[in-house]
Amino acid sequence: MHRIHKQHQAEQDLIDIWIYSCGNWGAIQADNYLDEAFKNIAENPEIGVNINYIRPGYLKYSVKEHIIFYRIQKSTIHIVRVLGNEMDYIQHL
């Protein structure tokens, strides 16, 4: 299984998502919301859709209302951003 490394901006995205989720669905749901998605990516890094046409080496993986953007480097998955699926993600990458 690959190691997950969340870059600074992704960490901030996750804090914002957690605050919103906690306020709407409670702390337990907020804690668990994206955990399964990160586990899926770590176990099967190629699960995401290649978006080389936007950023070379990047993949995206959709989960509920969000898209996880990441890249693979050896045995590490670098989570770059976690954005709402309604956002203009090209502008934010």
Q: Tell me: the pLDDT tens digits for 25-67?
A: 777 776 777 888 999 999 999 999 999 999 999 999 999 889 9
Question: Is 49 exposed, middle or buried (CB count within 10 Å of its CB: 0-12, 13-18, 19+)?
Answer: exposed
Domains of the chain: 3-92 (3.30.2310.20)
* Amino acid found at 82: V
* pLDDT, position 24: 78
* pLDDT, position 64: 87
Q: Where does the pLDDT of residue 89 fall: very low under 50, low under 70, confident under 90, or very high at 90 and above? A: confident
Average pLDDT, the chain: 91
Which pairing describes strands 76-84 and 58-63: parallel, antiparallel, or unpaired? unpaired
* pLDDT, position 16: 92
pTM: 0.91
Which pairing describes strands 49-50 and 58-63: parallel, antiparallel, or unpaired? antiparallel
- E-strand ranges in 45-91 read 49-50, 58-63, 66-73, 76-84
